[in-house]
């Protein structure tokens, strides 16, 4: 399993454009990302997010191309099982989008990738789509 799966997502109450997804990832990838010291500058593991939703006014919001380096996440559940951890990420949707309503159903994906120093994106596994209510 090299995929990343969002298991929960919450919306920041003071900033409705800021979201905190909890993402299940392989423990080995997390250890490699946090323990790497000799990688070339600019390379590393990254999470790519997308989110789709409808607002109460019927607007269809779609936020894609939102990324976060894995080293920028915090460990939420270090002992989920022998092979997985849950990390808390964060992403902000652009000001051009109407944010979803509180407790609304959203469809989110997380894609785990490796970014080389040359800027080449190597996808690890497939993007996992999850439908959740905002917490």
We report the CATH number of the domain holding residue 117 as 2.60.40
User: What is the domain count for the chain?
Assistant: 1
What is the DSSP-derived secondary structure letter of residue 99?
P
Give the residue numbers spanning the domain of 32. 5-133
The burial of 48, by beta-carbon neighbours within 10 Å (0-12 exposed, 13-18 middle, 19 or more buried), is given as buried
* pLDDT tier at 64, thresholds 50, 70, 90: confident
């080293």: which residue's tokens?
Answer: 71
pLDDT tens-place string over residues 18-55? 999 999 999 999 988 888 777 777 788 999 999 998 87
Q: What is the pLDDT of residue 73?
A: 93
pLDDT tens-place string over residues 89-109? 999 988 888 888 888 899 999
- Residue 9 reports pLDDT greater than 70: yes
Q: Each residue of 10-37: b (16+ CB within 10 Å) or e?
A: ebeeeeebebbbbbbbbeebbeebeeee
- Residue 115 reports pLDDT greater than 70: yes
Is the Cβ–Cβ distance between 32 and 46 less than 8 Å? Answer: no
* pLDDT tier at 87, thresholds 50, 70, 90: very high
What's the angle, vertex CA 63, arms to CA 33 and CA 15, rounded to 5?
85
The CA distance from 30 to 66, in Å, is 19
What is the DSSP-derived secondary structure letter of residue 70?
G
Higher-pLDDT residue of 65, 80:
65
Average pLDDT, the chain: 87
The CA distance from 108 to 10, in Å, is 12
């Amino acid at each position: 399993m090299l995929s990343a799966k969002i298991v929960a997502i919450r919306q920041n109450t003071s900033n409705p454009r800021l979201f905190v997804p909890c993402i299940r990832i392989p423990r080995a990838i997390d250890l490699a990302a946090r323990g790497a010291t000799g990688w070339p500058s600019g390379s590393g593991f990254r999470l790519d997010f997308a989110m789709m939703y409808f607002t109460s006014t019927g607007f269809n919001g779609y936020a894609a191309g939102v990324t976060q380096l894995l080293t920028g996440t915090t460990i939420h559940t270090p002992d989920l099982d022998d092979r997985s951890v849950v990390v808390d990420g964060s992403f902000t949707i652009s000001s051009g989008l109407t944010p979803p309503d509180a407790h609304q159903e959203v469809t989110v994906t997380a894609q785990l990738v490796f970014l080389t120093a040359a800027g080449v994106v190597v996808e690890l596994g497939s993007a996992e789509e999850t439908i959740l209510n905002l917490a």
